[in-house]
Amino acid sequence: MPELMRKVLDKAGLPSNLTPHSLRHTHVSLLAENPKVGLAEIQARIGHRSNSKTTELIYLHVTKRRQLQMGDDFEWVING
């Protein structure tokens, strides 16, 4: 692991086995949980502008929290 990455993880109190890719994946997953952030915005942020399937397949697995929120979102739409 590069020295700079190790220093950053140590300073942040994060596990030393994290990689830049794992941090990227976590970042995108957290964005995906936010109903105010759309797929196009996430794609632009991570450079997947040409193919949304790449973003969907790799990063946008639906989290448990978002699965629960979707029920509430649907109810809100139905009830106005």
Q: Which pLDDT tens digit goes with each residue over 36-73? A: 888 889 888 988 877 777 777 777 666 667 777 778 88
Over the stretch 13-34, which tens digit does the pLDDT of each residue have?
999 999 998 888 888 888 887 8
Helices (H), 13-59: 20-33, 39-46, 52-59
Listed in sequence order, the residues at least 6 apart from 24 whose beta carbon sits closer than 8 Å to its beta carbon are 46
d(CA 53, CA 70): 21
Do the Cβ atoms of 32 and 60 come closer than 8 Å? yes
Domain edges within the chain: 3-79
